Amino acid sequence: MNIEQAYVKSTSKEDVIRILELRLNNKLEEVGVQIDVGLPSSYDAIIAKDLKRKIAISNSSNGWISILESKEVNDYNMLLQLSKDLNTEVLALMFSDVTGAWGFAEFIEGKVAKSYFSEEDDEIEEFIANKLDEKGIDIPMYMFREVVSKKAEGWSIIKKLS
């Protein structure tokens, strides 16, 4: 299982959706322009040129909104933009039980404030749970297909306009 998911410190789902829709509907991005946040990125290979890109957005819970790409890859440029435009904090998490790797990047007001990546930690789920607890985030990590089934429970799906 490989999951990359982000959390935006905000209570305004509408503001988050507005910024995400702008990102989705701009022209396709050139490959190789993702910022380096200290985490491996699959963005270029998986979603940079995806014409059917979809993003799931949760309702706000405890002051945080979660966003999850359909291909379960974080768009670090988009997360940085969210942090800057909303003048807030964004937490990006990545987890791969196949490789035994996990990591996070924290964006604060449009800047990468902190990042961590490890392929050595044994208790990955515990580290992730602790990171979410530290931030007061009570939305667990999901796979996109799990979120689609929870749409009635406050998740919205936005997609690129044709």
Q: Is 144 helix (H, G, I), strand (E, B) or coil?
A: helix
pLDDT of residue 13: 97
DSSP 146: H
What is the CA angle 73-44-129, rounded to 5?
A: 20
Sequence letter at residue 130: N
pLDDT digits (tens, 9 = 90+) for 96-136: 877 778 899 999 999 999 999 988 877 778 888 999 999 99
Give the mean pLDDT of 58-64.
96
pTM of the entire predicted model = 0.88
Task: Look up residue 82 and give its two tokens.
Answer: 């969210």
Model confidence at 80: pLDDT above 80: yes
Residues of the chain above pLDDT 90, percent: 45
Give, to the nearest 10 degrees, the angle between helix 13-25 and helix 76-85: 130
Q: What is the mean pLDDT of the chain?
A: 84
